[in-house]
Amino acid sequence: MEWMPALLFLSVVIVLMMGYPVAFTLGGVALIFAGIGTATGTFDPLLGAMPERVTGIMMNQTLLAVPLFVFMGVILEKSKLAEELLDTMAKLFGSLRGGMGFSVILVGMLLAASTGIVGATVVTMGLLSLPVMLKRGYQPEIACGIICSSGTLGQIIPPSIILVLLGDQLSSAYQQAQLNQGIFSPEQVSVGDLFTGAIIPGLLLVFLYLLYLALVAWLNPKAMPAIKLAEHEKADMGSILRALLPPLLLILAVLGSILSGLATPTEAASVGAVGAMLLALINRKLSMNTLTDSMRETVRVSSMVFMILIGASLFSLVFRGFHGDDQIHQLLTSLPGGKWTAILIVMLVMFLLGFVLDFIEITFVVVPIVAPILLTMDINPIWLGIMIAINLQTSFLTPPFGFALFYLRGVAPQSVATRQIYKGVIPFIIIQLIALIILSVWPELVTWLPDRLG
């Protein structure tokens, strides 16, 4: 019966690929296997801990940030912040060769730091910028690659929902790893630590994207032509400030309060939610219908996240009941090459799972199983969290199942072929892998800022 943990995991993946809801698949398949294990006497009865786990999830102060950040992102999306930003940036950089591409990357960075919602950013940028870029003579492959990659920056640039979820899971995993090592006064790792650690890697990715676009514009001018702007179309300082100041102030309020220690991520999320409503009010986009729709969307997304977390908790208990965690521990610790081989194997598995599972499922299902084992190998939890986040961001871009590709395909004109979208993201996937290698060689790029501010 030592194959039961592997069969359990494989069964969940197969059922998910058949299109069944994630939360009920995780819980339902786990309960079926628990019944089989109980009948055959091969299952340790751990399900009695489930009520406490559900109570812990619903009482978790860190996870309160999820609905608040979702609400902030939805309000900002409906306040048309992206349209004004993109219009201003296009006027500012459009006269440069490749300027429109630079504008989309920079707007994607600002939206990532404002909303943290990948799907909304890719769809918004696809609707707003793709037709304009194609009309201005940009190669479809380049334009699609720029939009998909800029949209996924919300995975790594804080305040990111994935960093909130990862921070909660890594906090528990780090405490468990220290207790397993006999450390009974464990150190803490928080969502704020992950936010701080993600700032330099996020900016590094943006820099690498812009560097690649500059090289393409220089070597192949026809792929990214400059746009001739009339004098009245050029951006003046007033329009630049009107477009940039609101999101920058919101980013400063949210991230600044966390980095300075004035607020927890949950408190900062509430500041962001209020700030987003104020921006929408100033832009005259905050009506009762907008507020109602935003709240409904927030409840829908938050309910999905928490239901998946409850289903993943049940899956985790059953997996441990079959001693699956012991088998993985034995596998990872017996690999030649020590911790680096273990990290490489885990990252590869997460990358492949990213083709078929959403980042929420991977965070709730895989991280609780492998993170406590990796963290006993003298691995920095903040560095591990950022590496996982960038890895999942890469899987968002990778053909044929990358979620960002699906989002863009849904809004792209019929003249843009799917193969052009796939081809366009390949250079950005390579850039992501280069970033992972850089962070592996110089982990201080992740740990330096948290150490300084800690």
Could you report the per-residue pLDDT of 76-93, keeping only the tens digit for each?
Answer: 777 777 677 777 777 777
Instruction: Give the domain extent around 159.
Output: 4-453
- Tell me the average pLDDT across 19-26: 80
Query: For residue 51, is pLDDT > 50?
Result: yes
pLDDT number for residue 138: 87
- Tell me the average pLDDT across 18-33: 84
Query: For residue 120, is pLDDT > 60?
Result: yes
- pLDDT by residue (tens digit) across 348-386? 888 887 776 777 778 888 888 888 888 888 889 999 999
- Tell me the average pLDDT across 208-216: 93
The label of the residue with tokens 């949209």 reads 151
Average pLDDT for the chain: 83
Q: How big is the chain, counted in residues? A: 454
Among the ranges 21-35, 156-170, 417-431, which has the highest mean pLDDT value?
417-431
Which range, of 81-85, 325-329, 341-345, averages the lowest pLDDT? 81-85
CB of 434 closer than 8 Å to CB of 208: yes
Residue 262 burial (CB < 10 Å; 0-12/13-18/19+)? Answer: exposed
pLDDT number for residue 298: 86
- Tell me the average pLDDT across 260-282: 85
Where residue 203 falls among pLDDT bands split at 50, 70, 90?
very high
The domain total for the chain is 1
Query: For residue 335, is pLDDT > 90?
Result: no
- pLDDT by residue (tens digit) across 172-201? 888 888 887 777 777 888 888 898 999 999
pLDDT number for residue 232: 46
- Tell me the average pLDDT across 21-28: 83
- Tell me the average pLDDT across 272-301: 85
pLDDT number for residue 115: 61
Where residue 403 falls among pLDDT bands split at 50, 70, 90?
confident
Instruction: Go through 6-20 and write b for each residue having 16 or more CB atoms within 10 A of its CB, e for each that does not.
Output: eebbeebbebbeeee
The label of the residue with tokens 């990872």 reads 332
Query: For residue 118, is pLDDT > 70?
Result: no
Q: Which residue has the higher pLDDT, 229 or 106?
A: 106
Q: How many CA atoms lie within 13 A of 171 on its CB side?
A: 17
